[in-house]
Amino acid sequence: MTHDSLPSHTSGSVDDGPFEPGLRAVSSETFDVEPPYVPNEGSLPLADFPDRFLDRELSWLHFNQRVLELAEDASLPLLERARFLAIFASNLDEFFMVRVAGLKRRIAAGVAVRAASGHLPREVLESIWGSTGELMARHAAVFQRDLVPALRAEGIELVRWEDLDKDEQKQCKRLFKERVFPVLTPLAVDPAHPFPYISGLSLNIAVLVRNPKTKKEHFARVKVPPIFSRFVPLGNQRFVPLEDVIGEHLKRLFPGMEVLEAHTFRVTRNEDLEVEEDDAENLLAALEKELLRRKFGPPVRLEVEESIHPRVLELLVSELGVSPGEVVQLPGPLDLRGVNDIADLAREDLKYDAYVPTTHTELAEVESASPVDVFKAARRNNVLLHHPYDSFATSVQRFLEQSAADPHVLAIKQTLYRTSGDSPIIDALVDAAEAGKQVLVIVEIKARFDETNNIRWARKLEHAGCHVVYGLVGLKTHCKLSMVVRDEPDGIRRYTHIGTGNYNPKTARLYEDFGLITADQAIGEDVAHLFNNLSGFSRNASYEQLLVAPDSVRDGLIEQVHAEIEHHRAGRPARIRLKANSIVDETTIDALYLASQAGVPVQLLVRGICAVRPGVPGLSETIEVRSVLGRFLEHSRVFEFAGGGEPTAWIGSADLMHRNLDRRVEVLVRLPTQELVGRVAEVLDLAFDDDTSAWTLGADAQWTRTSGTQHLHQVLIEQHRQRRR
């Protein structure tokens, strides 16, 4: 879910641009796996299963359907259901802005290449419109039929203008006059006024007015100001949509005219960025220029109220340049992202029980009230963090804050992909630079929909004296790394943090992620080499404890898969368990199919997109695919292998997608001890327990919800509370 922002997606093609020295691109144009092994006798070649890959776009829609099912689940706290309703709407907006826009662009360019699923772009687009139409109608019905009555029963009322009493109408009239009216700008359409530009995702009112003297009708557009609350509070937990308040007072905007009709509408535009990095002398300037263009992307969807007059709809379709098939008619109100405001109400009785993350046992204060020295703790033991159960503030944030203040720290090197608006991570790096420490920050300014924020942070860091690198040409730097160089009595020592999630204190309370704080010398040396690759001209591309994309993640994981096949054939323990946000990469999936054909058990825990087709006789009979959604956003990437009785596990930033394996700098770290491997294995054991509530994927590409008696997140909350006690 997006709370990230649930979740973003890019096309599966490989960048054509050059790559930095030491980082090699791996082509994914072919899906054939050529291992040094052959399938079991009698197994069919993979080519005999042409439909073995599920379509990624349709799989994503199934993911968002699972989010919608949570909004429909009457067993969940009511305001949490409201939150899932808003998340579904936000997710779908991003899907249209990026994925549907990309398909339209390919069709317009005449790029009719079949996807790995065998579908042409136009076929996928037609399927998308069929599925999204049903989902949007279902989403609106959940709001009207289920959520609004259930909220009313709890004393929270979402009403329309006609439901207001006289005192409430007077209150809204005063609000309109004093605050809303001064902000509004009605834009007429006539020979002197061209049809106005409609910004993406803005809520608008299409108004039809008539001159009482000439009887001539005119069209005008009024934008609903996004600076005000989407639902206007009336007191006593009663709310009315802002567009209702504006719509009732349109005569104030068009004095002397007759207001005939008013209908809300909303446009979704292509908001994906295309920065020609190879031709840009200054990547920062090129990105800023492209951000301005984003506002003017072509439309990909038009949402209107069901009550809209046909001639008004015809005008909108004509002026906006959308096809009739891209129009969605829904019962009002539109844009239910605003339900987030309702979900934020201080009604703890209608939410999940409050949970405050606890300090990891290795970092917890024992006798004194002063914070634990993170450096001493890391020298004593490797610290495996599991957020949000383990507090981000008392672990990763404290690690960087102590590093900034410690006079023995000589340097800090850090990657930043996304962070919060008031980030203590940024403040710590600024403090370190101002204290004279060497600070290198790799800021990925091309992080989708966070570009503007990251540009601002990059400049702030530069002004403080940090060395700032804006990623690499042709690659996004998506890895989650922090390295501290400290002068100690026995020499220079490196401390590293490698995580699966962003350095964002806010999302760390909602996103499930793993992180490793360690003083392990081999890991520290690998991370040091990688930072040199990112900031300079180092040509080192070999690592002992890391897999680094685009050089070695795909190849390294496939090598592990093949090793499990050999262990199974030799009668040794063999099993593959992967946890990721998305699994799409065909080469890796084919390796998993080979493992299944050889009889190796394969378990996949996938939050979002999954192109694997499990349970197909002769192909994937030993593959199980599960998805867990709920209180927290499952975000970590874990790769566990039985290893013939010596299990190994890797954690890191890489999903199994083309963009991650070919067009991003990603890092997986091998957990250095069996104790830590056992810790992630326990989480996977719980996730795949038959009694754990989850969705399972069938060979027919359909997800089925299983109603277990325990929920993964709640069990882990209780386990961490017990551990802390």
The separation between CA 406 and the C-alpha centre of its own chain, rounded to angstroms, equals: 35
Can you tell me the distance from the alpha carbon of 250 to that of 724, in angstroms, rounded to the nearest whole number? 59
User: What pLDDT score was predicted for residue 250?
Assistant: 95
Query: Could you read off the pLDDT of 105-116 as tens digits, one per residue?
Result: 888 888 778 889
Can you tell me the distance from the alpha carbon of 675 to that of 694, in angstroms, rounded to the nearest whole number? 27
Work out the average pLDDT over 526-532.
Answer: 94
Which ranges constitute the DSSP H helices of 536-642? 553-569, 586-597
Residues catalogued as catalytic: 478
- Nearest in space to 33 (alpha carbons), one of 46, 20, 44: 46
Residues in the chain, overall count: 725
Can you tell me the distance from the alpha carbon of 449 to that of 127, in angstroms, rounded to the nearest whole number? 27
Q: Is the pLDDT of residue 160 over 80?
A: yes
User: What pLDDT score was predicted for residue 562?
Assistant: 97
**Which of residues 286 and 318 earns the better pLDDT score?**
318
Using the 8-state DSSP alphabet, how is residue 307 labeled?
A: T
Can you tell me the distance from the alpha carbon of 323 to that of 156, in angstroms, rounded to the nearest whole number? 39
Indicate the pLDDT class of residue 457, thresholds 50, 70 and 90.
Answer: confident
The burial class, CB within 10 Å (0-12 / 13-18 / 19+), for 64 is buried
User: What pLDDT score was predicted for residue 272?
Assistant: 63
Q: Is the pLDDT of residue 242 over 60?
A: yes
**Which of residues 171 and 279 earns the better pLDDT score?**
171
Q: Is the pLDDT of residue 463 over 50?
A: yes
Query: Could you read off the pLDDT of 67-122 as tens digits, one per residue?
Result: 999 999 999 999 999 999 999 999 999 999 989 998 988 888 887 788 899 899 99
Contact yes or no for 446/380 (Cβ under 8 A): no
Contact residues for 57 (Cβ-Cβ < 8 A; gap 6+): 99, 103, 124, 127, 128
Indicate the pLDDT class of residue 176, thresholds 50, 70 and 90.
Answer: very high
Please state the pTM of the whole predicted model: 0.89
Q: Is the pLDDT of residue 29 over 50?
A: no
The upper half-sphere exposure of residue 366, i.e. CA atoms within 13 Å in the direction of its Cβ, equals 5
- Give the DSSP H or E segment for 383: strand 383-387
- Nearest in space to 437 (alpha carbons), one of 469, 466, 397: 466
The DSSP line for 80-126 is HHHHHHHHHHHHHHHHIIIIIHHHHHHHHTT--PPPTTS--HHHHHH
User: What pLDDT score was predicted for residue 2?
Assistant: 41
Indicate the pLDDT class of residue 295, thresholds 50, 70 and 90.
Answer: low
Q: Is the pLDDT of residue 244 over 90?
A: yes
Indicate the pLDDT class of residue 491, thresholds 50, 70 and 90.
Answer: very high
Contact yes or no for 486/465 (Cβ under 8 A): no
Q: Is the pLDDT of residue 19 over 80?
A: no
Mean pLDDT computed over every residue of the chain? 88
Tokens 């058990």 locate to: 601
Q: Is the pLDDT of residue 28 over 60?
A: no
- Nearest in space to 15 (alpha carbons), one of 530, 466, 624, 664: 664
Furthest CA-CA distance within the chain: 92
Tokens 């709809």 locate to: 313
Indicate the pLDDT class of residue 39, thresholds 50, 70 and 90.
Answer: low
**Which of residues 592 and 34 earns the better pLDDT score?**
592
Work out the average pLDDT over 348-371.
Answer: 86
Report the percent of the chain where pLDDT is more than 70: 88
